[in-house]
Amino acid sequence: MAVTPTVRPRALPAVTSRALQSGALAALLAVLAGWSVEAAAQQRLGDLDPAHTRIRFDLRTRWGQKVLGEFPAFEGEVLALPGDRRQVRIRLRTDAVEVAGSERYTRIARSEGFFDAARHPLIEFVSDPHPAELVRDGGPLRGRLSMHGVTHEETFEVKPASCTRPGLDCPVMAAGSVDRRRYGLDGYRVVLGHQVRFGMQLRLRPAGS
């Protein structure tokens, strides 16, 4: 009676801890290299000049009265991206917001029923990458607006510039309206309308100045 020899499977080569460490190191270096390339591709052209920048908002009461507010505390920058594109980033402090000539409306604007400055001290806008000539020729500026813990895509309209170096020799003018109900700013509905209009006059300090 013939005996069939037992065939044992060939053992796979063992993966050493050194090989695992080498693979992990290579992956980490690849990630860091990607970050370096992305960082190198972004160049900060300038920061918002607080002495010559104005960022305001307004809305109507139910009786047609216009309530005008301002964000005196803010920061922001303009980045140069590949392909001669630009990106704008703006952050507004809601705990410093002021309503002209009215302590009562200033308290309302900062209160839980509106911007809720205690829990949401910042409003942030990050534009989509856009052509550099947008601030010269005018047109829609799209981006992500984050307010009251909610983020939505919004569009602001940039006016054609009155100079050849907008942002430096003349302000960049932009405005747009948002529906505050989309962001959970649903307080004081009996008193205040739901459309909030933002208006911006932006000037830059060149990077390194």
Q: Give the total number of structural domains in the chain.
A: 1
pLDDT in tens, 56-86: 999 999 899 999 999 999 999 999 999 999 9
Give a yes or no: residue 4 inside a domain. no
Q: What is the pTM of this model?
A: 0.78
CATH number at residue 74: 2.40.128.110
pLDDT of residue 69: 97
Give a yes or no: residue 199 inside a domain. yes
Q: Domain of 155?
A: 43-206
Asked whether the beta carbons of 82 and 115 are under 8 A apart, the reply is: no
pLDDT in tens, 141-200: 999 999 999 999 999 999 999 999 999 999 999 999 999 999 999 999 999 999 999 999
Sign (positive or negative) of CA dihedral 162, 165, 167, 169? negative
- The backbone torsions φ and ψ at residue 191, rounded to the nearest 5 degrees and listed phi first, read -100, -40
Give a yes or no: residue 8 inside a domain. no
Give a yes or no: residue 35 inside a domain. no
Give a yes or no: residue 59 inside a domain. yes
Sign (positive or negative) of CA dihedral 86, 138, 92, 177? negative
pLDDT at 22 over 90: no
